Chain A
Amino acid sequence: MHVQLEPIRVETGSADEDGRLVIYKGKLVGILVRIAEPGVWKGYWSVEWIAGMLHHPPPFATTGEAADWFSDRFAQGGLK
């Protein structure tokens, strides 16, 4: 696994502020935020930013699933 997650607080204008920097092979490739606001996605991890991509997948149930997604995405050549 080439993905590391580092805790960071993120400004989203909402209670969703528990974040993770997603680092792939030593480079920042994304930011995740845990959804704290009420709703169907509460507790899930929302992808707030992905290096060079506008495609945002639906929120992930765990950081592990998110890390796998980033790993697959960037193993295929990274930026598109």
Chain B
Amino acid sequence: MNDIGPLGWLTQKLDRLGQLDDVDRSRLAALTTRIEQVPRGRQIIREGQIPDQCCLLVDGYACRFKTTAEGDRQIVSFHLRGDILDIQHLLLSRADHSVQAITPATIAWMPKTELIKLAWERPELGKALWQDCLIDASIFREWVLNVGRRDAKSRIAHMLCEFAARCQAAGLGTAQAFDLPMTQEQIGDATGLTAVHVNRMLRILERDGAIARKGKEYQIRDWDLLRGIADFDPAYLHEAA
């Protein structure tokens, strides 16, 4: 748990998206939350489920994914504290993908009905939640481009640029130095590469002088170089970075 309360990082993010006033902030802070600690690897939401609560990531990291009939997994996004992991469930009843904690995580469950009521009664908050949803969609579109059309080295570089930018926005490290919590298998599942090839590409990026790494600690040593390799333009992140 962090010292700004379970809804602190969400409030900070929505504040960036909309022009919240004190009433908006206090209504947000008054939302009913049920805090749950989840271990690494726990599936928080399963595809096909009909949730009556929304799930906010308070601490730790998570991913959304889908699987083929054969069991092959595609990770479709990574998430940091302050992200609502299933904001679409405010208006869509059935989960169309699964959500998993990739590190030990703290989550806050919020009743769907309360959040919907709040979004309707407080237009700036409603607008900020809608924008958050649209930014999610923009990130998904960029990921389709990344997986479908970029070569392996660019895919990995792009994932690193995006993660660095989002970590900075979430107050987790800087754009130059951050922890990368995913395993190479998970990076492979997110970029459509084998873990073996992810490892090779990370070595090449390190050899080129774009990044340095020590375990999970990553440094971007040359942003311009990495951004060039990645074909990274942060415009698609809008206010998420």
Residues of A within 8 A of B (CB): 12-14, 16, 35, 37, 39, 41, 46-48, 54-56, 58-59
Contacts and interface: CB of A to CB of B under 8 A. Distances in A.
Interface residues of B, number: 13
Contacts of A13: 153, 200-201, 204
Contacts of B70: 55
Q: Is the interface of A mostly helix, strand, loop or mixed?
A: loop
- Main DSSP-derived SS at the B contact region: helix
B30 interface: no
A59 B196 contact: yes
A35 B72 contact: no
Contacts of A56: 194
Given A13-B204, A14-B204, A55-B72, A35 B196 contact: yes
A8 to B, nearest CB: 17
A28 B192 CA distance: 23
A35 B195 CA distance: 12
A27 to B, nearest CB: 23
A47 B195 CA distance: 11
Given A13-B204, A14-B203, A55-B72, A46 B196 contact: yes
B200 A12 contact: yes
Nearest to A80: B70
Contacts of B153: 13
A56 B189 CA distance: 11
Contact of A41 (B196, B203, B204): B196
Contacts of B192: 54
Interface string B47-81: 00000000000000000000000101000000000
Nearest to A12: B200
Nearest to A59: B196
B43 interface: no
Interface string B207-233: 000000000000000000000000000
A71 to B, nearest CB: 18
Interface in B147-198: 153, 192, 194-197
B69 to A, nearest CB: 11
A20 to B, nearest CB: 15
Contacts of A46: 194, 196-197
A14 B200 contact: yes
B200 A16 contact: yes
Given A41-B195, A41-B196, A58-B195, 16 more contacts: A13-B153, A13-B200, A14-B200, A14-B203, A14-B204, A16-B200, A35-B196, A39-B199, A46-B194, A46-B197, A47-B194, A48-B197, A54-B192, A55-B72, A56-B194, A59-B196
26 contacts: A12-B197, A12-B200, A13-B153, A13-B200, A13-B201, A13-B204, A14-B203, A14-B204, A16-B200, A35-B196, A37-B199, A37-B200, A37-B203, A39-B199, A41-B195, A41-B196, A46-B194, A46-B196, A47-B194, A48-B197, A54-B72, A55-B70, A55-B72, A56-B194, A58-B195, A59-B196
